[in-house]
Structure 1
Amino acid sequence: MTKYLISFPSFAMEVSPDELPAVSDASHAVVQEAKDAGVWVFGGGIDESVPPVMVAADGTVTPGTYPQTSRLDGGYAVLDLPSAEAAHAWAAKLAAACRCAQEVRAFGYDPDS
């Protein structure tokens, strides 16, 4: 099995305030389906009210982040799945629930984890 990251940036989900409860219910239903199927590992959204910080090897903490990730936001799910095709199928369910396309990436295999 491979763990897959299924995600979307905040700007991609364009729903009106009136639609938000239905989107929330639909996404929670997909999450519950993934839990019931035993493939759910972790998921959630980045809290955009908490600014990112960089932590160096010596423990020094500095405000900010890598320039290329300054817009890291949105929603994420990690699922443990048998194939890329299965990841695409779950991403389609999440895309329908969240009303926006989802990006799929595979985590590298680590035999020690």
Structure 2
Amino acid sequence: MARYLISFNDGAMDHIPDEDWPDVGKAAHAVTQEAVNAGVFVFGAGLQRQRASVVATDGLVTDGPYPETKEVIGGFMVVDVAAREEALAWAAKIAVACRCAQEVRQLMPDPETDEMLRQAGRRG
């Protein structure tokens, strides 16, 4: 199994009229429930718009927004699937539900972290 990040950019859903948001929410939650039922959902969420903080190696904290940043993630879902094609299929369902394009990227495997999670009794 491989983990994939399915995400969309902040602002990608700005074209949706206010009155359509309840339907979009229902559709997005239906896809999430389908992924949970299929056993592929790892985690997902929408992100606060431009509310990022950057912590430097010296501990200095710089708060956003960052107007020079062209693209930031607006929301995401992580799925654990057998093949890239399956991740692309989930991204297609999310794109329909959220009414915006989705980016799909495979997460790098990390056997050491997986082992730490396994030993802690969590999914790895």
TM-score (norm 1): 0.87
Name 1:18's counterpart in structure 2: 19
The structure showing larger relative contact order (alpha-carbon pairs under 8 Å, at least 6 residues apart) is 1
The percent of aligned pairs where both chains have the same amino acid is 51
Name 2:106's counterpart in structure 1.
Answer: 106
Deviation for aligned residue 1:111: 1.5
Q: Deviations over 1:49-72 (max 9, x none)?
A: 6x3222122322123488875641
Report SS of the residue matched to 1:62: strand
Query: Which stretch has the larger CA shift, 6-15 or 65-74?
Result: 65-74
* Residue 38 (structure 1) aligned with residue 35 (structure 2): no
Q: Which has the higher mean CA deviation after the structures are superposed, 31-40 or 55-64?
A: 55-64
Q: In 2 relative to 1, CA 108–73 (structure 1 residues): closer, same or farther, beyond 3 Å?
A: closer
Amino acid at match of 2:45: G
Match of 1:79 in 2: 79
Q: Is the 8 A contact 1:7 1:103 kept in 2?
A: yes
Q: Which amino acid aligns with 1:99?
A: R
Moved more, 15-24 or 66-75: 66-75
Which region of structure 1 is more displaced relative to structure 2, 99-108 or 12-21? Answer: 12-21
Contact 1:54 1:65 in 2 (8 A): no
Contact 1:6 1:91 in 2 (8 A): yes
2:55 maps to which residue?
Answer: 55
Contact 2:43-2:78 within 8 A present in 1 as well: yes
Q: 1:44 to 1:24 in 2, by over 3 A?
A: same
Contact 2:10 2:49 in 1 (8 A): no
Structure 1 residue identity aligned to 2:102: Q
Q: How many residues align?
A: 112
